[in-house]
């Protein structure tokens, strides 16, 4: 997966209540949550960004709540991926669960707000097009990349079930990709 977008830079320890305030947690609709994404840090953030823009942050991004609303809000706002020095553990897991692309790099200090980045999630590379500087990260394992490409864990599971149901016949018997008629 490759992404290209403008950087929106955030500090260390951005918590989930800053990503999406608790007063908006009465829905799980990504588009509705996206309208209020990051607005307690950057007023009208969702109106200022363009679809495909990239969030870059310091350490411990997404600390706080275990709810998936923060990741849904980021996706709903149109952010293509989040790059950080580190993620809170539950945020990291929930990002995978909802199909939000994330990548950890050693340091984000040289990346400035307004820079344009090209991210290759498969290779774990990040190219700052504004500064012509490349960063390397440990790419996510292939199966995690598949989950993200599928749109999240539940969609990945459904896709795998559909694929396997084509190979398994009635009564669970496998017959060279055809359904058994017994």
pLDDT in tens, 127-158: 999 999 999 998 999 999 999 999 999 888 88
Q: What is the pLDDT of residue 167?
A: 62
Q: What is the pLDDT of residue 160?
A: 85
Span 54-78, average pLDDT: 95
Q: Which residues contact 81 (CB under 8 A, 6 or more apart)?
A: 3, 54, 55, 100, 101, 102, 103, 119, 121
Q: What is the pLDDT of residue 4?
A: 97
Span 54-81, average pLDDT: 96
114 pLDDT band (50/70/90 cuts)? very high
Q: What is the pLDDT of residue 182?
A: 44
Strand 81-84, strand 102-104: pairing:
parallel
């Amino acid at each position: 997966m490759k992404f290209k977008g403008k950087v929106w830079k955030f500090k260390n320890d951005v918590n989930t209540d800053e990503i999406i305030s608790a007063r908006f947690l009465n829905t799980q609709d990504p588009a509705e949550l996206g309208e209020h994404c990051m607005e307690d840090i950057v007023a009208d953030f969702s109106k200022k960004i363009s679809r495909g823009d990239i969030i870059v942050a310091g350490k411990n991004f997404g600390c706080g709540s275990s709810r998936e609303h923060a990741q849904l809000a980021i996706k709903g706002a149109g952010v293509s991926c989040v790059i950080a020095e580190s993620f809170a553990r539950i945020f990291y897991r929930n990002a995978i669960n909802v199909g939000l692309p994330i990548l950890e790099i050693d340091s984000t200090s040289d990346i400035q707000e307004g820079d344009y980045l090209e991210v290759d999630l498969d290779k774990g590379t990040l190219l700052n097009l504004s500064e012509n500087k490349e960063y390397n990260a440990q790419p996510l394992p292939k199966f995690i990349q598949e989950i993200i490409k599928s749109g999240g864990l539940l969609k990945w599971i459904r896709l795998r079930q559909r694929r396997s149901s084509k190979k398994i016949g009635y009564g669970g018997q496998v017959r060279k990709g055809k359904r058994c008629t017994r």
